[in-house]
Amino acid sequence: MTPVDIYSLNGLPAPYWFIQLFKVLGFILHSIPMHLWLAGLPIAIILLLIGGVNGQIFARRLLKQMPVIMAMGINLGIVPLLFIQTAYYKVFYPSTILMAWHWLGILALVLPAYYLLYLTGALVDAGRKWLPALSGCGASLLIVAAGLIFASAWTLMASPESWAELWRAKSIGGAATGLGSNWGDPVVYLRFVSICGLALLTVTFWLLFDSHFLFVEKKGGAARTRPEISDFMQNPYLPKSRKKELRRLRDAGKLSEEEELEALEYGYGDSEGEEGDAYQRWALRFASVLVWFGVCVSLGSLWFYYYKVLDGPESVTSVHEASMTTAPAAPIDPTTGEPERIVPVWIPPITFAATALFAILVILGNFGKIQGKLLVVLVGLCEAVTLTFFAITRQIIQNEQIKNYLDVRAIPVQMQLSPLLVFLLVFLFGAALIYWMIYAMAKTVKR
């Protein structure tokens, strides 16, 4: 007997590849902001507290960007979740019902985290240091907890063999209380750590992108701004005594041009662009440190995925001994007699190579071998390749783990052609409209 009911399957509304494409694409798009709030937020808090001038610039910029990043991440997460429910509902619903309260708990964690991020941004704007660190810390803890529950849910979904035990432990009259959890399963934590590794790479990329594409654009504007009292008060890089002194000089009308510029460092850079360049140099240096952590954790987790998860489990047992269905481990390749490779042989080398190249580029950038926006574009490409192949691998593994219960690829298609075409048209229209809006905003920033 199996806990997955394959006897009442609905057809897929679109071809299998289409659903997989949008599920994977949606996950990649969702993962970028997700990585930023998962790893970027704690890094920003640390930099805010103990970072130097440039570290604080990055910290404050990221903390102020965070509410928008959070909003995008949540909305971009809808598509993968929608297509999971389209094709994987037979495994998705039972697993989430078994851990219903944990699953709903994600919302209870994310909602205050989201508001805390707004608060953090506002406090950063007000030039505070400890208060935003505190609220950011709270948000970060809530986000990490939500992330762990997500890791737990996807792990549970991919292991129907564990459901019955969970259900037995947490049910009343055969009905699930929704209090089940698989916190004892080490895969939950490994899954979470693997995401954290990739998250570090994404933060590295964002740091470079922000410093080379977004930060420098603001330099010109700063030169035209005259310092206000609030600038002195909010400038986080000035010691209190210096602030006091500058205010006194300003009030007395004795503020020199140099001292005026001192006040404008906060978030703008100076009129000469030296501050911007210094920030970019710092960004490269910091990226080359960050990337080591990211690469080590990412490669470790990728290795884990490719060579550990895919090797096991030896067999998958069904939920009840009385009618045990023992599924084979990885199918045997008839030509070699070896277990068949689940992930196409060319995927791991490309993923490893992209991740390694990511690190090499950052290090070369630090040594000044490649510089400027070209470097960022190349790093971005490596990031895209790494995320894409990781997402593809993740999908292949997910399919493989549940294959013995539900083979999504074998579900017939009940094509819904006209709504699908309308969706694609709307998607293209939406992309164009969003491009126009972002372009309009970017143009304004440049001006």
Partner 1 sequence: MSYPWWYVPSLTSPMVIAIVAIVHVLVSQYAVGGGFLLARENRFALKTGDSEYRKYWKSHARFFILLTVVFGAITGVGIWWTIGLASPLATEELIRIFVFGWAIEWVFFIIELVAAFGFYYFWDRLPKNTHAAMGWIYAGAAWISLVLITGITSFMLNSRGLFGDWETTGGFWYAFFNRQFVPQTLLRTGISLLLATIYVYMHITWGNARDTLREKTIRRMLVPSVAGVVLMVLGVAGWLVFLPKSALMMLERAAVINVFLGIFAAVSAAILLLIFLGPMRAPQKVSFTSALSLFFLAIAAIGSSEFIREGIRKPYVIDQVVYGNQIMVGQSGPISRSGFLNSGVWTGLYLKDLQDKYPRLRIYTPANILAGSRSTSPTHAPLGPAGGNRMNAVSVADPSAHALPSIALLDLPEEGSQRPGNEDWLRIDAEDQLELGRVVFLHHCNDCHAAEHGYSAVGPQLTGKTEEEIISFLKHLNRPGYFMPPWCGNDTEAVLLARYLMSIRPEMPSNITGKTDEADLP
- The least CB distance from residue 442 to partner 1, in Å, is 10
Residue 220 binding partner 1, by CB under 8 A: no
Q: How far is CA 357 from the centre of its chain?
A: 20
Among residues 395, 289, 407, the alpha carbon closest in space to that of 347 is found at: 395
Q: How far is CA 208 from the centre of its chain?
A: 16
- The least CB distance from residue 75 to partner 1, in Å, is 5
Binding mask 106-135 vs partner 1 (x if CB under 8 A, - otherwise)?
-x--xx--xx--x-----------------
Q: What distance in Å separates the CA atoms of residue 32 and residue 209, rounded to the nearest whole number?
A: 13
Residue 434 binding partner 1, by CB under 8 A: yes
Residue 222 binding partner 1, by CB under 8 A: no
- The least CB distance from residue 82 to partner 1, in Å, is 6
What backbone torsions phi and psi does residue 12 show, to the nearest 5 degrees?
-80, 140
Beta carbons within 8 Å of 297's beta carbon, 6+ residues apart: 193, 194, 196, 197, 200
Residue 314 binding partner 1, by CB under 8 A: no
Contact 194, 302 (CB under 8 A): yes
Residue 103 binding partner 1, by CB under 8 A: yes
> Whose Cβ is closer to partner 1: residue 29's or residue 198's?
29
Residue 433 binding partner 1, by CB under 8 A: yes
Binding to partner 1, residues 357-416 (CB under 8 A):
403-407, 409-412, 414-416
Looking up tokens 């993740």 gives 394
Binding to partner 1, residues 130-189 (CB under 8 A):
164, 167-168, 171-178
Residue 5 binding partner 1, by CB under 8 A: yes
Residue 3 binding partner 1, by CB under 8 A: yes
- The least CB distance from residue 437 to partner 1, in Å, is 5
Binding to partner 1, residues 39-98 (CB under 8 A):
67-68, 71-72, 74-76, 78-79, 81-83, 85-86, 89-90, 92-94, 96-98
Angle of helix 41-50 relative to helix 130-157, nearest 10 degrees, comes to 160
- The least CB distance from residue 90 to partner 1, in Å, is 7
Q: How many C-beta neighbours within 10 Å does residue 367 have?
A: 10
- The least CB distance from residue 249 to partner 1, in Å, is 30
Residue 315 binding partner 1, by CB under 8 A: no
Report how many residues bind partner 1 under the rule CB under 8 A: 92
> Whose Cβ is closer to partner 1: residue 320's or residue 369's?
320
- The least CB distance from residue 110 to partner 1, in Å, is 6
The three-class DSSP label of residue 176 is strand
- The least CB distance from residue 107 to partner 1, in Å, is 5
Residue 332 binding partner 1, by CB under 8 A: no
Residue 33 binding partner 1, by CB under 8 A: no
Q: Which of 21, 169, 332, 422 binds partner 1 (CB under 8 A)?
A: 422
Q: What is the CA radius of gyration of the chain?
A: 25
Q: What distance in Å separates the CA atoms of residue 397 and residue 158, rounded to the nearest whole number?
A: 9
Looking up tokens 């360049």 gives 277
- Which spans in 52-183 are helix H? 53-76, 78-87, 89-98, 100-125, 130-157, 163-169
- Which spans in 224-310 are helix H? 229-234, 240-251, 257-264, 274-303
Residue 418 binding partner 1, by CB under 8 A: yes
Q: What distance in Å separates the CA atoms of residue 6 and residue 249, rounded to the nearest whole number?
A: 78
Residue 81 token pair: 């979740």
Cα angle 36, 358, 283 (rounded to 5 degrees) comes to 60
Residue 340 binding partner 1, by CB under 8 A: no
Binding to partner 1, residues 257-296 (CB under 8 A):
none
- The least CB distance from residue 204 to partner 1, in Å, is 25
- The least CB distance from residue 98 to partner 1, in Å, is 6
Residue 301 token pair: 């987790």
Helix (H) or strand (E) segment spanning residue 420: helix 417-446
